[in-house]
Chain A
């Protein structure tokens, strides 16, 4: 079709993928946030999508990568039917290799990543370090890319309490996907088998700091105790028997509805909840 020929893929998007971990069974799966990131990339029209993963190439890796490919490899025109697998040993710092792969061979305008990995340290630092080493701006907690126009992307960012904020960022940029972004589509088995993994060798840098860490399954955090600092039995009794009254509250009796409404209006304005 001539229309498509005149309008080639104007935007190259790289989606960083990681090996997820099922929270109950502990099996390898597609990571939830990265799958949302891929869903976000697939929602962009006329974008070429590069799937990138850095890490050891083993069974767990293949299983989870095929989970992503099952979402995307039906869309061959986007180029999302193959994962570029930057092979690294398991205790390696993948930042140099990934940074090299992004800047030299893939050259995307937009990099989409999840906020934290589901395995290992999960510090969420990788996108920020990539941003620092590539010199690209980073924006966190994105739920949608509204438009990409003349090198500027308009993004929708999730804020706490269900709020949204619109941002515009100059490309190339890195975005991380919030957990409230559109939930990922199902992974289809056939496309998952047909997708390919292209392994790329890169020199590895061993992460020495992790050697002195002691890692164990998370134990339940101790519940915070109500500490009563008292010297006498009377104070302890008072603390135990205290009724929770807010105290210091202002009570307006015998006011007209208008005066009452004025007082409430003032408080709402002070708190900044009226928009």
Chain B
């Protein structure tokens, strides 16, 4: 029989972390790893402050009590960015009890925030009964660039890439929706009540199906006593009235009608119609876009803005570039104050809050007021000399260099391409 022997000297060294032999002894015992964190007698998680934590960016040791200990260095941001998709719960609905069809507008080929809100509303309708969930079907007409269908909350995706559906083809699109109605008979039809197309198409669909649609919906609540099981609040009378009414099959919803999907990831499996679409003889013919003078477009609704700041020296070149690119001109406050641009061209908190799809900031360092003004822009391109300015952090594409030279190179490139097209034609 061996008696457990204590080594008072070793215990003393373990207690004294300044002892030269402390580290070696801890490693030998293997106690180091085990004793970094433990659960205290009252159930609280304890940790040894000397043996956990990491060195923060400014050289000070940090202890992360949130539990998600991140190693120091460059790994942190990328891990942080991937987390949202990794954490999402994956949901697959094999045999849905019913279908909720969403026809997103997709301006510029991507889901807009309105479309995402609409998909969130569709999820509310589909997931109301956990025993027999419905599936959300998204119908995309024409070409698109969207890839994040699952994260947006789409269970089934139907892509109608027919060339007859491109451009303004409301009758052909209505024909496609009718084919879906005949074959799949969805319980709800959801469209955005927006000038980008959904308002027109949704009303056509409602008239064709003989349904009285709910238009301008902005709030939805469960009401089992009604036919569809839902009540809603809609805007009527040019925005002056709130109408509470039962829900109907065809729904045209306003922006922010629901929260977009953020916690789940859906299958977005591809669905196709069994019959190809029949060609229709359309009475409406699209003759294409009419060139509009970009300078006449209000800054707030311009699609493509070329904006100038303090870094622009060659103003003639800037105006020429805007003309060649077909962009609406904008300016930062400095450029306006210095008298180079008109006051109504100012972008930012004191000027106009713009909603452009593409915003090119030339020589703008990005004051916070200016960045507020471009919050709702999709793609921001920055051309700047200073690689550390705030605009570069906001930009999707940043080019460091002299603004005048890059602009003139861009103009030369565009003009050359147009020349080639003219020669080919």
Residues in chain A within 8 A of chain B (CB atoms): 21, 23, 26, 116-125, 128-129, 131-132, 137-141, 154, 156-157, 159-170, 173, 209, 212-219, 221, 224, 227, 229, 232-235, 244-258, 260-265, 267-268, 271-275
How many Å lie between the Cα of A254 and that of B401 in the bound state? 8
Residues of A within 8 A of B241 (CB): 120, 122, 215-218
Would you call the interface of chain A mostly helix, strand, loop, or mixed?
Answer: mixed
B304 interface residue, CB < 8 Å from A? yes
Residues of B within 8 A of A26 (CB): 240
Known: A119-B237, A169-B285, A268-B381. 8 other contacts (CB 8 A): A121-B236, A123-B215, A137-B284, A165-B286, A169-B284, A260-B406, A261-B412, A273-B358
How many Å lie between the Cα of A120 and that of B297 in the bound state? 33
How many Å lie between the Cα of A75 and that of B409 in the bound state? 57
The answer to whether A156 touches B394 (Cβ under 8 A) is: no
The answer to whether A217 touches B245 (Cβ under 8 A) is: no
Residues of B within 8 A of A217 (CB): 240-242
Chain A-chain B contacts (Cβ-Cβ < 8 Å), number: 252
Residues in chain B within 8 A of chain A (CB atoms): 64-67, 81, 107-109, 168, 171, 195-196, 199-200, 203-204, 206-208, 212-213, 215-216, 218, 235-246, 256, 259, 262-263, 283-292, 296-298, 301-304, 325-327, 357-358, 360, 371, 378-381, 383, 387, 392-402, 405-410, 412-414
The answer to whether B246 touches A138 (Cβ under 8 A) is: no
The answer to whether A260 touches B383 (Cβ under 8 A) is: yes
Cross-chain pairs A/B with CB under 8 angstroms, 11 sampled: A122-B238, A122-B241, A162-B292, A165-B287, A167-B168, A169-B284, A214-B244, A249-B397, A252-B397, A261-B413, A271-B358
The answer to whether A224 touches B256 (Cβ under 8 A) is: yes
Residues of A within 8 A of B395 (CB): 246, 249, 251
The answer to whether A257 touches B402 (Cβ under 8 A) is: yes
Knowing A123-B215, A141-B200, A265-B410 are in contact, say whether A229-B263 is a contact too (CB < 8 A).
yes
Residues of A within 8 A of B263 (CB): 229
The answer to whether A245 touches B393 (Cβ under 8 A) is: yes
Would you call the interface of chain B mostly helix, strand, loop, or mixed?
Answer: mixed
8 closest A-B pairs (Cβ-Cβ)? A162-B297, A261-B409, A260-B399, A234-B66, A257-B405, A261-B410, A273-B304, A128-B207
Residues of B within 8 A of A252 (CB): 397-400
How many Å lie between the Cα of A157 and that of B243 in the bound state? 30
The answer to whether B396 touches A250 (Cβ under 8 A) is: yes
Residues of A within 8 A of B405 (CB): 257
The answer to whether A213 touches B243 (Cβ under 8 A) is: yes
The answer to whether B409 touches A124 (Cβ under 8 A) is: no
Residues of A within 8 A of B256 (CB): 221, 224
Identity of the chain B residue whose Cβ is nearest the Cβ of A26 in the assembled complex: B240
Residues of A within 8 A of B212 (CB): 125, 209
The answer to whether A157 touches B259 (Cβ under 8 A) is: no
How many Å lie between the Cα of A169 and that of B285 in the bound state? 6
The answer to whether B400 touches A253 (Cβ under 8 A) is: yes
Residues of A within 8 A of B412 (CB): 261
The answer to whether B242 touches A216 (Cβ under 8 A) is: yes
The answer to whether A122 touches B207 (Cβ under 8 A) is: no
Identity of the chain A residue whose Cβ is nearest the Cβ of B167 in the assembled complex: A165
Residues of A within 8 A of B289 (CB): 159, 163-166, 275
A116 to chain B, nearest CB (A): 6
The answer to whether B379 touches A118 (Cβ under 8 A) is: no
Knowing A125-B203, A212-B245 are in contact, say whether A261-B406 is a contact too (CB < 8 A).
yes
How many Å lie between the Cα of A261 and that of B287 in the bound state? 32
Knowing A122-B236, A132-B208, A167-B284 are in contact, say whether A219-B298 is a contact too (CB < 8 A).
no
The answer to whether A162 touches B302 (Cβ under 8 A) is: yes
